[in-house]
Amino acid sequence: MRGGLRLNFVVDAAMFMLLTAIAGLGFLMEHVLIPGERRWRVYGRNVDLSWLGMDRHSWGDAHYGLSIVLLVLVALHVALHWGSITAMLRQTFARRASRAAFAVLFLIICAGASVFPFFIKPDVKEIGSGEGRQVQAHHH
């Protein structure tokens, strides 16, 4: 296998492995290390859940870290296939203006999807002792 093909294979295999790990961690956090309000329903009390010594927040940190690595590998994948990407764009959009409009729209959507959380202002509500979602879920 030539060097360029070997690098493509390694990058693509790593991206697929990261994607499956990210999905698996998402399933772990959603279905096994369930959030507080569902813990009350399933266990009848407020319990701590962990796996391999890590709770859902720690696994969320791992999920986040793997996501960043995946984004870096996707950028490398795009760079390695840039010639093919531009050739496909030329075949799909005959006019240069159409290609440019598509590329700008695509980049705006991707950038927006990535950075919108940094512009969100959460609703902040003071809760007292014995209040919050866990207590509310327990009493329903």
Query: Which pLDDT score is estimated for 5?
Result: 87
Q: Helical H runs in 28-116? A: 36-43, 56-80, 82-92, 96-115
Burial class (CB in 10 A: 0-12, 13-18, 19+), 34: middle
Burial class (CB in 10 A: 0-12, 13-18, 19+), 96: exposed
Which pair of tokens denotes residue 94? 């005959």
User: Which amino acid, one-letter code, is at 45?
Assistant: R
Listed by start position, the domains of the chain span 1-80, 82-121
* pLDDT confidence bin for 3, thresholds 50/70/90: confident
**What does the pLDDT look like over 53-109, one tens digit per residue?**
999 999 999 999 999 999 999 999 999 999 999 999 999 999 999 999 999 999 999
* pLDDT confidence bin for 133, thresholds 50/70/90: low
